[in-house]
Chains A and B, each alone.
Chain A
Amino acid sequence: MGEHTIHSILDMFLLLMEYSFPNSEYSHDVNEFPQLFGQTTFNQYCLAIHVLDNNNMFTIREVEEMINKPNEEYVE
């Protein structure tokens, strides 16, 4: 495969990537998001974000404690 071909393939790939969605993290647009669905409350959402920020490293017991005694650390 020639160098020119590789470059054209790379160009095509970059073009495709532009049309693709970026690998987004959470909380992009504060005005529009989050949108909560079903019975989800904002406190539950804050707790979920807190758990996610800590790489899902909280145990059942720890999360239960957080639900029972909401902490200012994650409730906005």
Chain B
Amino acid sequence: MITESTDKRSDKIFHSSQREQQFTVISSKLTNKKLFNRNCVYMLNQMYDTRCDENCARVATDAWIVWNFHKDTQPKFDNDVLGLGVVFPVFRNVYRISLIKKNTQQFMKCDCLHYERNGIPCQHILLITNKIEDNMVKIQHWKVYGTHFGDNSEISAKLMEARSIQQNNESNGVPITPAMFTKIMSPIFG
């Protein structure tokens, strides 16, 4: 009985993953939007669009700081008779981004840890890269992950390999390609 319900649930997830492959976010201008799930594309769009609100300074060859002192406002609470909302502490954050090199692979790591939590690069990193590359999004957000992971296909083997590489580099941040690395390091940026 339990197995049967689990099977049903798995089938449902599999079918919804298959359906997901047919969908796309028409309004998005992201060139590789067809690779990722819709929720992921929405989040990527938001991150990319809000990146320009941030201030940025490069403080070393391999380090940047990013901040936005006008983003958050003091919260307003309903029925705040005692006026506690005024003293509610909300902190301003300045985030550090550093370039990490591990073997031949380069990574960008941001203090906000958005990538570590969600598998999607944050607006702070996108402000520097100005581009969303395929490998910057975790494999779990790819449309093919839901439909092909674990079957006997060649793509499944590739997905498993990619996931294991991802796990090995879990705390290093967002992986970037050598081309992106060269672009970031060149003084033309900005």
Contact = CB atoms under 8 A, between A and B. Distances in A.
Given A27-B59, A34-B57, A61 B74 contact: yes
B55 interface: yes
Interface stretch (B18-26, B40-48, B85-93, B139-147): B85-93
Contacts of A48: 55, 57, 65, 67, 69, 94
Given A48-B94, A59-B89, A60-B74, A33 B56 contact: no
Contact of A45 (B57, B62, B73): B57
Given A24-B62, A29-B60, A61-B74, A51 B92 contact: yes
A52 B98 CA distance: 15
Interface stretch (B5-13, B100-108, B158-166): B100-108
B56 A37 contact: yes
A20 to B, nearest CB: 5
B57 A59 contact: no
Across the A-B interface, the 10 shortest Cβ-Cβ residue pairs: A26-B59, A37-B190, A35-B58, A28-B60, A40-B55, A37-B56, A63-B92, A52-B94, A34-B57, A21-B62
Interface of B: 52, 55-63, 65, 67, 69, 72-74, 89-94, 96, 98-103, 127, 189-190
28 contacts: A16-B103, A19-B101, A20-B100, A21-B99, A21-B101, A23-B98, A25-B60, A33-B59, A33-B60, A34-B58, A34-B59, A35-B57, A36-B57, A37-B55, A38-B55, A39-B55, A40-B56, A45-B55, A45-B57, A48-B94, A51-B93, A56-B91, A56-B93, A56-B94, A60-B73, A61-B74, A63-B69, A67-B69
